[in-house]
Amino acid sequence: MAARIGRSAPPAPTGDAPRGYGRGARLLSIGIASTGLVTFAYFSVASYVLTDPQYTQISLLWSVMFVIVSVLYRPIEQLLSRTIADRRARGLEHDHPLRTPLLLQGAFATTFLVAALALRRPIEDDLFDGSAALYWILVVGVLAYAASYFARGYLAGHQYFGLYGGLVFLEACSRICFALAVAVGIASGQTAVALGMAAAPFVSLVVVPAAFSRRTAPPAAEAARRKPDDLALGRGGRFAVAVFAIMLAEQTLLNAAVLAVHVTSEDAAAAGFVFNVLLIARAPLQLFQAIQGSLLPHLAGLQATSGREEFAKAIRVTVLAIAGFAGAVAVGLLLIGPFVMGLLFDDDRSLDYGRFGLALIAVGMGAHLIAGTLNQAALARDRAGLASAAWLTSAALFVAWMFAEVIEDPLLRTEVGYAGAAGLLCGLLVAVYRRPSHARSQAAHHA
């Protein structure tokens, strides 16, 4: 890679790199842990102020919106983060290539808008039971997140982790304000709660001016080394398409069960209960964005500077931490899981949250988090294509499992299916991670 971009050898990794990763992960963890708690509270409040059918519609709106924004926009976030971090590791701190990511992000947003307008009737009537308000909240929210996710990639690549954490925390805080307004009587109804999803990405962007205020003019030596084609449209597009597939598969693992149960179950509230169960996985995964946000630029920098030992150490430490966390969550759910679920969510089926099924979700969450770590390693090593194949395989099997209805109880079917699919995904990405690099394979062959 260095040979294509510049003639000089990449600089040696500095001793500050590990500290930068650790500090960044801590800063993001604070912001995103708080975000996860606030998001959980948003749905808890919503479950109390809305009827079961209304709450199910809110959970469906959330699921659909975040499937779309994650699939469409996180590829550009990852592309920006990796590209900027790689350049900064090679001593290029200015004039990062933004044109290709902007074009791709604009194309994704435009494609969504055209598709949403063309499919307005089925979306509004079949998915949202005729609610025009929920349809327009979906459209406006998805378009607004295009800017929010672009900002996240820019902040992560520059390691502005405090601002990144502030962005997602402001997003969550602004969203829960709408649910609280209904709870205290300032507003009322499903639409008021849902409006928070459209307003949140706009509010989050208030941190962006602070990032641009840190920019300085590039020194003459750096300007002389800059190449205008650091990120050609074709190369950036291939990376974005592979990550697009990864994001589609990940959101399928998190949301396909809700949609499948909504379609196949005669119980109108069943999808809401399945959504509640998957929040056990979703909340830690949202927290894990803190690790992902700092891990990818860290690994990309190490890959650019041949820091193989630090690369492996970062993966090893992260995986061990995840395993310990997931084990603790599983034990906690075995002990008090049904009680906590009944306390947090206002429904009449709290006893149906079986403790062993909840513990299975925790096991699946741990495998999912480890897979996410290995995925970041694959992206840093430019193995996005292999990683996407692993994700798509696991997601396709999970969807088939949910619609096959091998287990009649939708909650238990979701719990078993999610744990199995996440375990398979983790195993496939372990194989990708252990696959020797092209350079190492050539060296071994010549030896």
The predicted model gives 75-87 an average pLDDT of 84
Residue 233 predicted with pLDDT over 70: no
Q: What is the pLDDT of residue 40?
A: 80
Q: Which of 313, 440, 346 is nearest to 48 (CA)?
A: 346
SS (H, E, C) the chain: CHHHHCCCCCCCCCCHHHHHHHHHHHHHHHHHHHHHHHHHHHHHHHHHHCCHHHHHHHHHHHHHHHHHHHHHHHHHHHHHHHHHHHHHHCCCCCCCCCHHHHHHHHHHHHHHHHHHHHCHHHHHHHHCCCCHHHHHHHHHHHHHHHHHHHHHHHHHHCCCHHHHHHHHHHHHHHHHHHHHHHHCCCCCCHHHHHHHHHHHHHHHHHHHHHHHCCCCCCCHHHHHHCCCCCCCHHHHHHHHHHHHHHHHHHHHHHHHHHHHHHHHCCCCCHHHHHHHHHHHHHHHHHHHHHHHHHHHHHHHHHHHCCCHHHHHHHHHHHHHHHHHHHHHHHHHHHHHHHHHHHHHCCCCCHHHCCHHHHHHHHHHHHHHHHHHHHHHHHHHCCCHHHHHHHHHHHHHHHHHHHHHCCCCCHHHHHHHHHHHHHHHHHHHHHHHHHCCCHHHHHHHHHC
Distance spanning both ends of the chain, measured CA to CA: 23
The predicted model gives 227-240 an average pLDDT of 64
Q: What is the pLDDT of residue 193?
A: 93
Residue 447 lies in a domain: no
Residue 218 lies in a domain: no
Cβ atoms within 10 Å of 172's Cβ, excluding its own? 25
The predicted model gives 10-24 an average pLDDT of 49
The predicted model gives 329-350 an average pLDDT of 73
Residue 25 predicted with pLDDT over 90: no
Q: Are 291 and 150 in contact (CB under 8 A)?
A: no
Q: Give Rg (Cα) of the chain.
A: 22
Cβ atoms within 10 Å of 227's Cβ, excluding its own? 11
Q: Are 206 and 177 in contact (CB under 8 A)?
A: no
The predicted model gives 26-46 an average pLDDT of 76
Residue 51 lies in a domain: yes
Longest dimension (CA), the chain: 75
Q: Are 383 and 432 in contact (CB under 8 A)?
A: yes
* Dist. CA 428–CA 102, nearest whole Å: 32
Residue 132 predicted with pLDDT over 70: yes
Q: What is the pLDDT of residue 230?
A: 56
pLDDT band per the 50, 70, 90 thresholds, residue 276 = confident
The predicted model gives 185-210 an average pLDDT of 90
Residue 245 lies in a domain: yes
Handedness of CA 67, 73, 76, 81 (dihedral sign): negative
Q: What is the pLDDT of residue 15?
A: 41
Arithmetic mean of pLDDT over the chain:
80
Helix 233-264 with 410-434: angle, nearest 10 deg: 160
Which residue range(s) make up the domain with 45? Answer: 17-213+226-436
Q: What is the pLDDT of residue 222?
A: 47
Q: What is the pLDDT of residue 211?
A: 73
Q: What is the pLDDT of residue 423?
A: 96
Q: What is the pLDDT of residue 112?
A: 96
Helix 233-264 with 355-380: angle, nearest 10 deg: 170
pLDDT band per the 50, 70, 90 thresholds, residue 4 = very low
Residue 63 lies in a domain: yes
- Highest-scoring range by mean pLDDT, 336-350, 355-369, 383-397, 405-419: 383-397
- CA 3, 74, 411, 330: dihedral to nearest 10 degrees? 60
Place of tokens 């949910």: 402
* Dist. CA 381–CA 287, nearest whole Å: 24
* C-alpha angle 90-95-100 in degrees, rounded to nearest 5: 100
Q: Are 299 and 380 in contact (CB under 8 A)?
A: yes
* C-alpha angle 22-28-31 in degrees, rounded to nearest 5: 145
Residue 356 lies in a domain: yes
Q: What is the pLDDT of residue 213?
A: 66
- Single-letter amino acid code for the residue at 78: Q
Q: What is the pLDDT of residue 33?
A: 67
- Highest-scoring range by mean pLDDT, 28-37, 217-226, 246-255, 263-272: 246-255
Buried/exposed code over 38-72 (b: 16+ C-beta within 10 A; e: otherwise): bbbbbbbbbbebbebebbbbbbbbbbbbbbbbbbb
* Domains contained in the chain, number: 1
More confident site: 116 or 439 = 116
Residue 443 lies in a domain: no
Read off the pLDDT of residues 367-401 as tens digits, 9 standing for 90 and up.
999 999 999 999 988 898 999 999 999 999 999 99
Q: What is the pLDDT of residue 229?
A: 45
Residue 253 lies in a domain: yes
Read off the pLDDT of residues 152-178 as tens digits, 9 standing for 90 and up.
988 888 878 788 888 888 898 999 999
